[in-house]
Structure 1
Amino acid sequence: MADTLRLSVPIVIAQLGVVLMGVTDNLFVGRLLGAVPLGAAGLANSLSFLVSSIGIGGLSVIAAMVSRAAGQGNEQGINQLFRASLRVALLFSLVFGGLSAIVGLNFHWFGQTPEVTQMGREFTLILSVSTLPLLLFTATRQLADGLRQPRVTMTITMLALAINALFNYLLITGYGPFPELGLNGSALATLISRIFMAVAMLAYVYRSHRFRPFLQAAYAHLPTKTQVTEIMRLGLPGGLTFFFEIAAFSIASVMVGWLGAAELGAHQIALNMASTTYMIATGISTAGAIRVGNAVGLGDRLRVRQAGLAAFVLATAFMTVCALVFFTANDYLVGLYIKDNPTVAGMAASLVIVAGFFQLSDGIQVVGIGTLRGLSDVNVPTWITLFAYWVLSLPVGYLLAFTFEMKAVGVWLGLLIGLTTAAIFLTIRFFRLANRYRVTASDPVVAPATVS
Structure 2
Amino acid sequence: MYRAEFADTLRLSIPIIIAQLGVVLMGVTDNLFVGRLLGALPLGAAGLANSLSFLMSSIGVGGLTVVAALVSKANNQSGGPAAVNRLFRAGLRVALLLSVLVGGLSVLLAYNFSLFGQTPEVTRLARNFMLILSVSLFPLLVFVAARQLCDGLRYPRVAMAITLSALGVNALFNYVFIKGVGPFPALGLMGSATATLLSRVFMAGAMLVYVYQAPNFRAYLKKEFNSLPITAEAWTILRLGIPGGLTFFFEVATFSLAVVIVGWLGEAQLAAHQIAINMASVTYMMATGISSAAAIRVSAAVGQASRDGIWRAGIAAFLLSVSFMSITALVFLTASDWLVTLYIRDNPQVMAIAASLVIMAGFFQLSDGVQVVALGGLRGLSDVNVPTLITLFSYWIVALPLSYVLAFPFGMDAVGVWIGLLAGLSIAAVLLTWRFFRRASLFLGNSNPKPQTS
TM over 0.5, yes or no? Answer: yes
- Equivalent of residue 152 in structure 1, options 147, 158, 164: 158
Cα distance in 1 for partners of 2:370, 2:27 equals 23
- Equivalent of residue 117 in structure 1, options 114, 120, 123: 123
More divergent stretch after superposition (98-107 vs 114-123): 98-107
- Equivalent of residue 276 in structure 2, options 270, 273, 293: 270
User: Residues 247-268 of structure 1, C-alpha deviation per residue, up to 9 Å, x if partnerless?
Assistant: 0000000000001111100000
2:60 is aligned to 55
Cα distance in 2 for partners of 1:398, 1:173 equals 38
Cα distance in 1 for partners of 2:406, 2:248 equals 25
Please say if 1:3 is aligned against 2:13. no
User: Residues 52-82 of structure 1, C-alpha deviation per residue, up to 9 Å, x if partnerless?
Assistant: 1001000010000000011114111000000
Partner amino acid for 1:55?
G
Cα distance in 1 for partners of 2:444, 2:21 equals 35
Partner amino acid for 1:38?
L
Query: Pairwise mapping of residues 299-378 of structure 1 onto structure 2 (< 5 A)?
Result: 299-378=305-384
Please say if 1:389 is aligned against 2:395. yes
Cα distance in 1 for partners of 2:346, 2:171 equals 23
Q: CA deviation at 1:287?
A: 0.4
Please say if 1:279 is aligned against 2:285. yes
Cα distance in 2 for partners of 1:100, 1:403 equals 32
Moved over 2 A (4+): none
Q: CA deviation at 1:105?
A: 1.1
1:444 is aligned to none
User: Residues 69-112 of structure 1, C-alpha deviation per residue, up to 9 Å, x if partnerless?
Assistant: 11114111000000000000000000000111111111111100
Cα distance in 2 for partners of 1:358, 1:162 equals 30
Please say if 1:15 is aligned against 2:20. yes
1:435 is aligned to 441
Partner amino acid for 2:315?
L
Please say if 1:213 is aligned against 2:213. no
- Equivalent of residue 126 in structure 1, options 132, 138, 161: 132
Partner amino acid for 2:28?
V
User: Residues 168-192 of structure 1, C-alpha deviation per residue, up to 9 Å, x if partnerless?
Assistant: 0000000111110000000000000
Please say if 1:70 is aligned against 2:75. yes
Q: CA deviation at 1:439?
A: 4.0
Q: Give the direction of change, closer, same or farther, for the CA distance of 1:88–1:439 in structure 2 (3 Å limit).
A: farther
1:259 is aligned to 265
Cα distance in 1 for partners of 2:443, 2:366 equals 27
2:39 is aligned to 34
2:427 is aligned to 421
Query: Pairwise mapping of residues 84-103 of structure 1 onto structure 2 (< 5 A)?
Result: 84-103=90-109
Aligned residue for 1:43, secondary structure, equals helix
Aligned residue for 1:339, secondary structure, equals coil
User: Residues 18-54 of structure 1, C-alpha deviation per residue, up to 9 Å, x if partnerless?
Assistant: 0000000000000000011000000000001101100
User: Residues 118-151 of structure 1, C-alpha deviation per residue, up to 9 Å, x if partnerless?
Assistant: 0000000000000000000000000000000000
Structure 1 regions of 5+ residues with no counterpart?
441-452
Query: Pairwise mapping of residues 145-294 of structure 1 onto structure 2 (< 5 A)?
Result: 145-294=151-300
Identity of aligned residues (%): 66
Structure 2 regions of 5+ residues with no counterpart?
1-5, 447-454
2:449 is aligned to none
- Count of residues in Structure 1 that have an aligned counterpart in Structure 2: 440
Q: With the length of structure 1 as denominator, give the TM-score of the two structures.
A: 0.97
Aligned residue for 1:196, secondary structure, equals helix
Q: With the length of structure 2 as denominator, give the TM-score of the two structures.
A: 0.96
1:46 is aligned to 51
CA RMSD between the two structures:
0.7
Q: CA deviation at 1:231?
A: 0.3
